[in-house]
Amino acid sequence: MKEPATETIKIRGLARIPARIFGVWGAIVLLKGLWDTLGPGEPEANLYAPEKWAFVTQAQWLRYGVFELAYGAACLGLAWLLMRYSRFLPETISRPRREPAFDLFA
């Protein structure tokens, strides 16, 4: 009788990959929010409007910048939580390979 083949699955990486994605995205959005609220950031509509802040008011732009700050911070927080959670996961697991229930070319 043939011994079933085993497969190794990297479990910790399944949590760390999205943590890195959320971390990079959160940092980009947070920096953009800082640029829009504290820096000289302004909407593109100001470039094409007859006068500045005609289409988008400064209050609306500040509200959008604060949303970007909150969204970026939430993404960074989620990245941090995923990295902390991944510490509790095993690096890899080995299990017997299961045959699929459906074979496309059979």
| 100 assigned to some structural domain | no
- Domain presence at residue 58: yes
32-52 pLDDT, tens per residue?
999 999 999 899 998 998 999
More confident: 64 or 102: 64
Arithmetic mean of pLDDT, 73-90: 96
Q: Which of 2, 10, 60 is nearest to 36 (CA)?
A: 60
Count of CB atoms within 10 A of residue 7's CB? 11
Query: Is the pLDDT reported for residue 80 higher than 70?
Result: yes
| Helix extents (H) in the chain | 12-37, 45-48, 58-86
Mean pLDDT over 77-104 rounds to 91
Tokens of residue 33, six digits: 């929010």
Structural domain includes residue 84: yes
Query: Would the pLDDT of 64 be above 60?
Result: yes
Does residue 104 sit within a domain? no
| 91 found inside a domain | yes
| 101 inside domain | no
Q: Is residue 44, in this structure, part of any structural domain at all?
A: yes
The pLDDT of residue 75 is above 80? yes
Domain that holds residue 60: 6-95
- Any idea which residue has 């079933």 for tokens? 4
Does residue 10 form part of some domain? yes
Give the total number of structural domains in the chain.
1
Per-residue pLDDT for 21 more than 60? yes
Q: What is the pLDDT of residue 3?
A: 67
Mean pLDDT for the chain? Answer: 92
